Amino acid sequence: DIQLTQSPSFLSASVGDRVTITCRASQGISSILAWYQQKSGKAPKLLIYAASTLQSGVPSRFSGSGSGTEFTLTISSLQPEDFATYYCQQLNSFPLTFGGGTKVEIK
């Protein structure tokens, strides 16, 4: 199974900060990775697919990069509505796996 390790697991930041979350895969997955945002009590929301393509309707302050085994999700200027938990998911091979999540909280 492909393990995804997200770091950090918890992040405290202020509105306007630039935030970067890393997702490392235990083996190469090309660019077959997605990023999701989940707010408390809600379903996940797709932000980025194919490692770097912004989902329609998602603000441009979100961006993704990477390929192979190392990926990043960047929020260029954190907004109040961005405080949530973020997950990466590899869809390269079964079983599909998620990272452990990164909770972004207000400093």
Partner 1 sequence: EVQLAESGGGLVQPGGSLRLSCATSGFTFSDHYIDWVRQAPGKGLEWVSRTRNKTKGYTTEYAASVKGRFTISRDASENSLYLQMNSLKTEDTAVYYCARVRWAQGSSSCDYWGQGTLVTVSS
Nearest of 86, 99, 17 to residue 47 by alpha carbon: 86
Please say which residue, 17 or 105, places its beta carbon nearer to partner 1.
105
- According to the binding rule CB under 8 A, does residue 76 interact with partner 1? no
- According to the binding rule CB under 8 A, does residue 98 interact with partner 1? yes
- According to the binding rule CB under 8 A, does residue 106 interact with partner 1? no
| 37-66 as b/e: b if 16+ CB within 10 A | beeeeeebeebbbebbebeeebeeebbbeb
- Select from 13-21, 60-68, 69-77, 97-105 the region that touches partner 1 (CB under 8 A): 97-105
Residues 41-60 within binding reach of partner 1 (CB under 8 A): 42-46, 49-51, 53, 55
Q: Which residues pair with 8 in a beta bridge?
A: none
DSSP labels, 66-79: EETTEEEEEESS--
Please say which residue, 1 or 18, places its beta carbon nearer to partner 1.
1
Q: Which residues bind to partner 1, rule: CB under 8 A?
A: 31-34, 36, 38, 42-46, 49-51, 53, 55, 87, 89, 91, 94-101
